[in-house]
Amino acid sequence: MNLAIRSAIESWSPPFFPITIFVLALVLYSRGFSRLHRQMPLRFPTRRLVAFSGGIAALWIAIASPLEQFDDLLLQVHMVQHLLLMLVAPPLLLAGAPAIPLIRGLPIWLAKPVVGPISRSRSVRAIFRWLTEPLVCWLAFTLATWGWHAPAAFQLALRSDTVHTLEHACFFTTALMFWWPVIQPWPSLPRWPRWTMVPYLLFADMQNTALAALFTFTGKLLYPYYATAPRIAGISPLDDQIMAGMIMWVPASLVYLIPGVIILFRYLSPRNLVQPADIALNSRLTSIR
């Protein structure tokens, strides 16, 4: 085994705080979900629990597994970590419609006097509404993606655990914002017409492709930090950067484009193409019969 790999594995220890948060979130969600599943099985089918659990698992792999030890050795590992935080965990968590299950999973002595007033606050609702406005979500996600991949910010995160944690938190929170209008977790209501999510995702993929192309074709090392890192399997820093760009390019593009295609096909389905006037006419004919 490569000395750098062995050293990284041996130096890893399970991070207590994030694992505790993950376990607590899963326990609370499962507790609330079991009640809602009994009351509203159609609204809360088992697939929601599977999706939320998959999101927690993706978070664990990204920041609480041995993978974390390799992100300062290989840029491609770092890129996989970012994709899990931005394109895998957030949509899975939101697909679980987590708001109501998490609240229902809380002890009643905490949910009613604390969470209840906060959720009913007009100020909190106004802030939340602004944070989930699609244009705000898209811009925040794009700025976080490009800002943290700028050489100065990226290398600072590699050298400082505190900044690295801030980087991960920024990626994850803006990704939750980005995917909110796409997933529309119940009980949220759509802000924009459903078809607008197609260009929303397409433009996100275009900026992702531009960044991936920069990694792949620039021909120079964007992050000199990796030139000083121990070599693994003889991979040169530039080849590592090219591989990171390809990971960002191909798998990430699929994550953007597949939901866009699904939304487009659903929008163009015959049921959605029926005009409101036709629906009203059919209703009147049915009542006459």
- 147-201 residue pLDDT tens: 999 999 999 999 999 999 999 999 999 999 999 999 999 888 888 999 999 999 9
Q: Would you state the structure tokens that stand for residue 11, as one six-digit string?
A: 């130096």
Nearest in space to 248 (alpha carbons), one of 93, 92, 94, 84: 84
pLDDT score recorded for residue 289: 42
The CA distance from 120 to 118, in Å, is 5
pLDDT tens, residue by residue, 223-278: 999 998 888 878 899 999 999 999 999 999 999 999 999 999 988 877 665 444 44
Domain boundaries along the sequence of the chain? 3-288
pLDDT at 2 over 70: no
What own/partner pairs with CB < 8 Å and gap ≥ 24 does 75-84 have?
Answer: 75/223, 75/226, 75/237, 75/240, 75/241, 75/243, 75/244, 76/240, 76/243, 76/244, 76/247, 78/244, 79/244, 79/247, 79/248, 80/247, 82/171, 83/247, 83/248, 83/251, 83/252, 83/255, 84/58, 84/59
Q: What is the pTM of this model?
A: 0.89
pLDDT score recorded for residue 281: 37
